[in-house]
C-alpha cells in the first residue's frame, strides 16, 4: 500500500509529534496508553519522524501521560452523562474515540482544520456509534452551530491552547459555555514562562522554531478563566510531572521527568485542567 504524503502547515503538523509520541509509547514494554493504532498510522505515513523533535523517552511519556489523564476525565464525564455530546477539538490523528469506545448513546464530534480531517478520513478506521468529523478552525464563529445544543457537553482540547491568542481562546470558551446547558472543559496548557522562553529560544534559532513561534497563550493561575464566563468554575488540575504511577515508567523516562520537575520553571511548565460550567438562570 502507498504511504501517505503529508502537506500541512507547521501548526497542523504538530499533530504528527503527538501521534509519534503515542506510537513510541506503544512500543515500550509497559505502555502508558497502549495506542497500537498510532503505531499503525505512523507506519502508513511517508515522513521523516525525526523532524517532530520527539525523540527522548520522556517526550513520549509526558505526552502519553497527558493524553491518559484527559481520557480518564472524559471517561468519568461519560459515565455520569451517558447521553452527552463530546466535542473533541484539535483532534489531529488522535484515537481518543477509539480508545474510549463510547456507548452508542454518546454523540462524538472530532474537529480540526479541513486538511487534518481529510487525513483522518484516509488513515483512521471509522469508529462505531454516533460519530462525525468536522473540518473547521475552532476560531471560526459558525462551526459550533453544527453541534446540536440539546445535551451536556464535554469539550476536550489537547495541544490546542498554546496555539491560540488569549482573545481567541476566550471567545471559544464563551461560545461553548453559551451554547450548551452544562458541561466540562478538559484541556492542557503551558505556563506563561514556558511560552515566553520557548518563543525567545525560537527567535535565537533554537530547535522547532516554526512551532514555538506559533505559541501564544500560557496560564499560571487556573482561576483566571473563571472570569471569562458566568457559571464557569475551575474543578482541578494536574501537572504532567505529578501524574500517578510514574514509577512504572522506563528508567530513562522517569529520569527525564524527575529532571524536568527540578529545572527552574520545569515542574509547572505543563498541566491538564478540568473546568465545569452551567447556564445560570
Ligand X SMILES: C[S@@+](CC[C@H](N)C(=O)[O-])C[C@H]1O[C@@H](n2cnc3c(N)ncnc32)[C@H](O)[C@@H]1O
60 binds ligand X (CB under 6 A): no
> Per CB under 6 A, which region of 25-33, 85-93, 119-127, 192-200 contacts ligand X?
85-93
Beta strand 182-190 pairing with 270-278: antiparallel
Choose which of 160, 185, 219, 241 interacts with ligand X (CB under 6 A).
160
Return the number of the residue (225 or 272) whose C-beta is nearest ligand X: 272
Return the number of the residue (103 or 118) whose C-beta is nearest ligand X: 118
- Our CA dihedral for 33, 35, 39, 42, rounded to 10 degrees, sits at -90
CA distance 178 to 273: 20
Closest approach of Cβ 281 to ligand X, in Å?
32
> Per CB under 6 A, which region of 45-53, 112-120, 121-129, 173-181 contacts ligand X?
112-120
Residue 12: name the closest of 100, 97, 108, 118 by CA. Answer: 118
138 binds ligand X (CB under 6 A): yes
Backbone angles phi, psi at 221, to 5 degrees: -105, 110
> Per CB under 6 A, which region of 26-34, 47-55, 136-144, 233-241 contacts ligand X?
136-144
Contact present, 77 and 154 (Cβ < 8 Å)? yes
24 binds ligand X (CB under 6 A): no
C-alpha cell at 251: 528508567
Backbone angles phi, psi at 35, to 5 degrees: -90, 80
Of 175-234, which residues contact ligand X (CB under 6 A)? none
- Radius of gyration of the chain from Cα atoms? 18
Q: List contacts with ligand X (CB under 6 A).
A: 11-12, 14-15, 18-19, 90-92, 94, 112-113, 116, 137-139, 158-160, 163
Amino acid at each position: 500500500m502507498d504511504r501517505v504524503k503529508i502537506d500541512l502547515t507547521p501548526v497542523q503538523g504538530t499533530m504528527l509529534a503527538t501521534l509519534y509520541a503515542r506510537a513510541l509509547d506503544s512500543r515500550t514494554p509497559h505502555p502508558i496508553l497502549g495506542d497500537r493504532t498510532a503505531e499503525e498510522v505512523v507506519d502508513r505515513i511517508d515522513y521523516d519522524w525525526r523532524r517532530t523533535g520527539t525523540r527522548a523517552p520522556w517526550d513520549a511519556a509526558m505526552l502519553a501521560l497527558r493524553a491518559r489523564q484527559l481520557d480518564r476525565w472524559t471517561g468519568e464525564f461519560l459515565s455520569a452523562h451517558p447521553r452527552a455530546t463530546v466535542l473533541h477539538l484539535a483532534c489531529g490523528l488522535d484515537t481518543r474515540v477509539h480508545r474510549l469506545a463510547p456507548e452508542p448513546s454518546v454523540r462524538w464530534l472530532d474537529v480540526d482544520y479541513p486538511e487534518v480531517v481529510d487525513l483522518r478520513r484516509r488513515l483512521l478506521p471509522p469508529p462505531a456509534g454516533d460519530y462525525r468529523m468536522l473540518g473547521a478552525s475552532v476560531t471560526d464563529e459558525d462551526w459550533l452551530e453544527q453541534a446540536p445544543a440539546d445535551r451536556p457537553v464535554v469539550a476536550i482540547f489537547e495541544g490546542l491552547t498554546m496555539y491560540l491568542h488569549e482573545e481567541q481562546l476566550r471567545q471559544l470558551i464563551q461560545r461553548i459555555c453559551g451554547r450548551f446547558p452544562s458541561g466540562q472543559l478538559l484541556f492542557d496548557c503551558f505556563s506563561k514562562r514556558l511560552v515566553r522562553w520557548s518563543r525567545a529560544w525560537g527567535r535565537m534559532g533554537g530547535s522547532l522554531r516554526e512551532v514555538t513561534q506559533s505559541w501564544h497563550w500560557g496560564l499560571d493561575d487556573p482561576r483566571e478563566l473563571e472570569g471569562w464566563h458566568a457559571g464557569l468554575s475551575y474543578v482541578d488540575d494536574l501537572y504532567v510531572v505529578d501524574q500517578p504511577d510514574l514509577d512504572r515508567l522506563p528508567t530513562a523516562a522517569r529520569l527525564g521527568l524527575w529532571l524536568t520537575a527540578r529545572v527552574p520553571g520545569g515542574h509547572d511548565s505543563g498541566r491538564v485542567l478540568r473546568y465545569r460550567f452551567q447556564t445560570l438562570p
